[in-house]
Amino acid sequence: MAGNASVPSQGSTGPEGMAPGRRRFITIALGAIATVIAGIIGVPLAGFFALPALKRLPRRWLEVGSVSAFAGGEIKKVLAKPLTTQVWPQATPPVAIYVLNQGGEKFTLFHIHCTHVGCPVQWNIQANRFFSPCHGGVFDKDGRVLAGPPPRPLDRYEYKIENGTLYAGRVYTVNEQLEFVRWQHA
């Protein structure tokens, strides 16, 4: 609608009655001001929003229980207690972990979320398998995929033993050969 060609233009004045150079200058100046304002407000807010979720977490150990509580070769579901930290939230709710004692002080600690879309897997002691209730994922005692859609074996926790107590640490993913692939959330 604007910019009708029939409007007479005088010399270097455009249809708005402004010199084109002046109009360009004001456009650039306004654009620059808007960009700087957006940056001053936007960059801190973006960091405020996203960085806490992305930053490498301080390793928080979870107290799983006394090593002697785990019979060799059996899988036990444990509610591990996160050790309190100096930073809010100091105390966090317990975390469920499937603990497999592979004899002596050798353990495998499984994350309870199915690796497909995260439904909680259930250990079935008779069948000697983990079953996911959502899309038919089945895992064996070592967390390998036996059937269904999960793309990788069950995720695991690193662990340490101190004074006869078992602690769980960060979560990592493994490949089909059950070898370490990467820290899941690092």
Question: CB atoms < 10 A from the CB of 153, how many?
Answer: 21
CB-side neighbour CA atoms (13 Å) of 117:
6
Options 2-10, 29-37, 45-53, 159-167: segment touching other proteins (CB under 8 A):
45-53
Q: Are 59 and 170 in contact (CB under 8 A)?
A: yes
- Report the alpha-carbon angle 168-170-175, nearest 5: 110
Size of the site for other proteins (CB under 8 A): 46
- Supply 59's token pair: 């390793």
Give yes or no for residue 150 binding other proteins (CB under 8 A): yes
Measured between alpha carbons, how far is 47 from 50 in angstroms, rounded to an integer?
5
Least separation, in Å, of the C-beta of 124 and other proteins? Answer: 4
Binding mask 70-109 for other proteins (x = CB under 8 A): -------x-x---------x--xxxxx-------------
- The residue (of 152 and 161) whose beta carbon lies closer to other proteins is 152
Give yes or no for residue 38 binding other proteins (CB under 8 A): no
Options 2-10, 31-39, 119-127, 153-161: segment touching other proteins (CB under 8 A):
119-127
Measured between alpha carbons, how far is 17 from 23 in angstroms, rounded to an integer?
10
Options 9-17, 29-37, 63-71, 135-143: segment touching other proteins (CB under 8 A):
135-143
| Closest residue by Cα to residue 98 from 74, 68, 69, 134 | 74
- The residue (of 28 and 43) whose beta carbon lies closer to other proteins is 43
Residue 43 CA: distances (Å) to CA of 50, 51, 54 = 11, 11, 15
Give yes or no for residue 47 binding other proteins (CB under 8 A): no
Give yes or no for residue 180 binding other proteins (CB under 8 A): no
Q: Are 153 and 140 in contact (CB under 8 A)?
A: no
- Footprint on this chain of other proteins (rule: CB under 8 A): 49-50, 52-54, 57, 77, 79, 89, 92-96, 112-113, 116-124, 126-129, 131-136, 138, 140, 146-151, 171, 184-185
